[in-house]
């Protein structure tokens, strides 16, 4: 039997010159499923994504999803992509196994928590906003940390730089004054900065309510191991509840086992995993 992809509709144009298309998965001309390919620019490179992959119940466990995914990779190569990501929801072991079989490795995972009562912060810390005077230095530190995390997750230095610049330009168009953003500094009683928080309070609007997103939690090197990361996460929860947001999510890179342990201890649970590989 021959498994092929056939267009399910016209190609869609995306902002920035990106493109996307939904495809039917056919076996000997008979539709058995579908998927979507998407390509978007990151700096001077193109990144691809395979999503919405589904095979009808009667056609599963016959290798059709594998063949369709490989065909989708060829489409994205033809679109000039040099990197490919897939997102696998939690509780989808078959999809996770397929991605790993095809050579994808987990780069990061998304976690979410439904917030309850307003948490208390330790009494010996002070919270201050990151204003114009502190913003430039903070931004450079945030970018450096993000680039390092991206490289550790499998991106090349050029890919990491491109994604870092694109993401920060998109998420902080007005710097420290960007609407819906909380930038905070955590200080000890002597005024020494212990760490910083970047929180997006308008990340997503979902059917079950808005979802805020922790963008950066950073404890400065000399002050690590003293519970300040937990304090910053509790601060994020307080900021959310004060803004009327009761669900908080975050990304964590897979190699950051300390952070994963912290988030799990605070009640955050995995909702999806992002896996990627280079297209060569």
The pLDDT tens digits along the chain (280 residues) read: 688 999 999 999 998 899 999 999 999 889 999 999 999 988 778 999 999 999 987 667 778 999 999 999 999 999 999 999 999 999 899 999 999 999 999 999 999 999 999 999 999 999 999 999 999 999 999 999 999 988 988 888 988 998 899 899 989 999 999 999 999 999 999 999 999 999 999 866 555 667 899 999 999 999 999 999 999 999 999 999 999 999 999 999 999 999 999 999 999 999 999 999 999 8
The fraction of the chain above a pLDDT of 70, given in percent, is: 96
pLDDT at 29 (0 to 100): 84
Euclidean distance between the first and the last CA atom of the chain, given in angstroms as a whole number: 28
Residue pair 110/251 in contact by the 8 Å Cβ criterion: yes
- Per-residue pLDDT tens over the stretch 135-176: 999 999 999 999 998 898 888 898 899 889 989 998 999 999
Q: HSE on the CB side for 182, CA within 13 Å?
A: 26
**CA-CA distance, 130 to 44, in Å (whole number)?**
31
H or E stretch covering 113:
strand 105-114
Residue pair 23/8 in contact by the 8 Å Cβ criterion: yes
> What does pTM read for this prediction?
0.85
pLDDT at 45 (0 to 100): 84
**CA-CA distance, 269 to 89, in Å (whole number)?**
12
pLDDT at 230 (0 to 100): 97
E strand map for 115-208: 126-129, 181-187, 193-206
Residue pair 85/45 in contact by the 8 Å Cβ criterion: no
Residue pair 49/20 in contact by the 8 Å Cβ criterion: no
Q: Dig out the tokens for 165 from the structure.
A: 């610049």
- SS3 state of residue 224: coil
**CA-CA distance, 24 to 7, in Å (whole number)?**
6
Task: Show the domains of the chain with their CATH numbers.
Answer: 3-81 (3.40.630.30), 113-275 (3.40.630.30)
Residue pair 57/259 in contact by the 8 Å Cβ criterion: no
Long-range interactions of 163-166: CB distance < 8 A, separation 24+:
163/42, 163/43, 163/47, 165/43, 166/42, 166/43
Residue 53 main-chain phi, psi, to 5 deg: -75, 125
**CA-CA distance, 234 to 236, in Å (whole number)?**
5
């Amino acid at each position: 039997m021959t498994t092929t992809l056939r267009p399910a509709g016209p190609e869609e144009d995306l902002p920035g010159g990106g493109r996307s298309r939904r495809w039917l998965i056919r076996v000997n001309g008979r539709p058995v499923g579908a998927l979507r390919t998407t390509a978007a620019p990151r700096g001077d490179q193109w990144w691809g994504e395979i999503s919405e992959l589904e095979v009808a119940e009667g056609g599963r466990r016959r290798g059709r999803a594998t063949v369709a995914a490989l065909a989708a990779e060829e489409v994205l190569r033809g679109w000039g992509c040099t990197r490919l990501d897939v997102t696998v929801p939690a509780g989808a072991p078959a999809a996770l196994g397929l991605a790993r079989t095809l050579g994808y490795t987990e780069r990061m995972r998304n976690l979410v928590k439904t917030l309850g009562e307003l948490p208390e912060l330790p009494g010996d810390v002070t919270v201050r906003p990151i204003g114009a005077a502190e913003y430039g230095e903070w931004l450079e530190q945030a970018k450096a940390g993000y680039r390092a995390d991206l490289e550790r997750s499998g991106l090349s230095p050029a890919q990491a730089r491109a994604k870092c610049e694109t993401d920060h330009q998109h998420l902080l168009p007005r710097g420290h004054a960007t609407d819906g953003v909380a930038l905070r500094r955590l200080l000890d009683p002597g005024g020494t900065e212990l760490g910083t928080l970047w929180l997006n309070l308008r990340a997503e609007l979902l059917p079950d309510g808005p979802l805020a997103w922790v963008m950066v939690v950073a404890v400065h090197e000399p002050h690590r191991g003293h519970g300040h990361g937990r304090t910053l996460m509790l601060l994020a929860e307080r900021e959310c509840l004060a803004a009327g947001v009761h669900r908080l999510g975050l990304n964590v890179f897979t190699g950051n086992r300390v952070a994963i342990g912290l988030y799990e201890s605070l009640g955050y649970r995995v909702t999806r995993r992002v896996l990627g590989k280079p297209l060569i």
